[in-house]
Amino acid sequence: MKRRVLVQAAAAALSIGLAAPAFAQLRDKVVLLLNWYVYSEHAPFFIGKEKGFYEAENIDLEIQEGRGSAVSIQAVAAGSATFGYVDVPTMVKAAAKGAPVKAVGVALQVSPMSVMGFADKGVKTAKDIAGKTVAMTPGDSMSQIWPLFLKKTGLQESQFKTVSGDAQTKLNAVINGQADLLLGYVMDQNIKLQDATKKPVQLVRFADYGVNLISSGIVAHKDTLAARPDLVKRFLRATTRALEEAEKNPEAAVDATLKANPKSGQRDTMLAGLKLTTALYHTDETRALRPLRVSMKNVGESLDLLVQYGGMDPATRGKPEDYVSLEYLP
């Protein structure tokens, strides 16, 4: 009898030991593909992961660097990433052409896009771009929206030269004088230029010329929305908390990012960039709302701009709800 009790106890202990890792494996594996190499804008995801916001939602989050919004959207459409953090207008143009993707939250509700160069180049307005050389990255969100900026400002491609390259190549081109300007985000490339050279940078913001489209947000495959709505809701609950945490404690968010990605930037530079980023989380209409909950009026205005200047077929415009859903947000 004593032997039987010991055997049963051993079996129970073995069962418990096996059950713990088996239970852990039930956590949902989620791949979040970013729009670009890791920099300050992405800090909320890293503070959210470090603080266990995703784990609390039974999500095992893997954050992957991207190589431009268009590429990341293709990956989500192909099912190789669960969610994408991308430029939403770029996603809209892809969805209008049949890509099975939809935005489920918009983080940057004021456009960060701009043309920038050192102040001694004298580029203070859009017309000053004429005669200059502009560095850009094919396939990224800014190159997708650049034609819209040109149409809105009346600039012709024949009036300036362009050079192509990845993120670092663009920066190097301006730093080394191979290009006068680059397409960049106000909270990213302009800070990197100043940090690298200690020279003042002049910005020509897209938003100042009426190109104030919604910007980065979370997108998912339509099949994921239909088949796994609870996963989408859990992911967005954690992400909303992460954005709020980054607003409240940017220093910790930057530290979490650098801990996970030591080569993603310099602390002071990233901190300045994150503060510029969180300033874009709300418009006057959404000031009292939690992050990601964009105004559908803002989405509609972005659609109008894409139709009028961005090459979007008017027949595919549809309604804001065709491209952005708020039903999964907390």
- Return the CATH number at 158: 3.40.190.10
Q: What is the pLDDT of residues 12-55, one digit of tens each?
A: 444 444 444 444 458 999 999 999 899 999 999 999 999 999 99
Cβ-based neighbours of 15, under 8 Å, separated by 6 or more:
none
- Residue 284: which region, alpha, beta or left (left: phi > 0; alpha: psi -120 to 50)? alpha
DSSP code, position 223: H
Counting the structural domains of the chain, the total is: 2
Which stretches does DSSP call E strand in the chain?
A: 28-33, 59-64, 83-87, 101-106, 113-118, 133-136, 161-164, 181-185, 201-205, 216-221
Would 149 be classed as within a structural domain?
yes
Q: Would 8 be classed as within a structural domain?
A: no
Tell me the H-state helices in 51-109.
53-56, 69-78, 88-96
Tell me if 52 is assigned to some domain.
yes
Low-confidence ranges of the chain (pLDDT < 50): 1-7, 9-24
CA dist 6 and 316 (Å) reads: 71
Is 21 within the bounds of a domain? no
Inside any domain, residue 230: yes
Residue-number span of the structural domain to which 125 is assigned: 113-209
Same domain, 195 and 246: no
Strands 113-118, 181-185: pairing kind: antiparallel
**239 plus 148 within the same structural domain:** no
**Separation CA 24–CA 256 (nearest Å):** 24
- The answer as to whether 17 is a domain residue is no
Residues 103, 77, single domain; the answer is yes
Residue 37, judged by CB atoms within 10 A of its CB (0-12, 13-18, 19+), counts as middle
CA atoms within 13 A on the CB side of 211: 25
Same domain, 202 and 224: no
Asked if residue 307 and residue 187 are part of one domain, the reply reads: no
Quick one: pLDDT at residue 25? 53
Q: Are residues 38 and 102 in the same domain?
A: yes
Has residue 23 been placed in a domain? no
Give pLDDT, residue 24: 47
Listed residues 158, 181, 209: the one ending a domain: 209
Kindly give the interhelix angle for 229-248 and 250-260, rounded to the nearest 10 degrees. 120
Do 102 and 225 belong together in one domain?
Answer: yes
HSE value, Cβ hemisphere, 13 Å, CA-based, for 128: 17
pTM of the model: 0.81
Task: Say if 150 falls within a structural domain.
Answer: yes
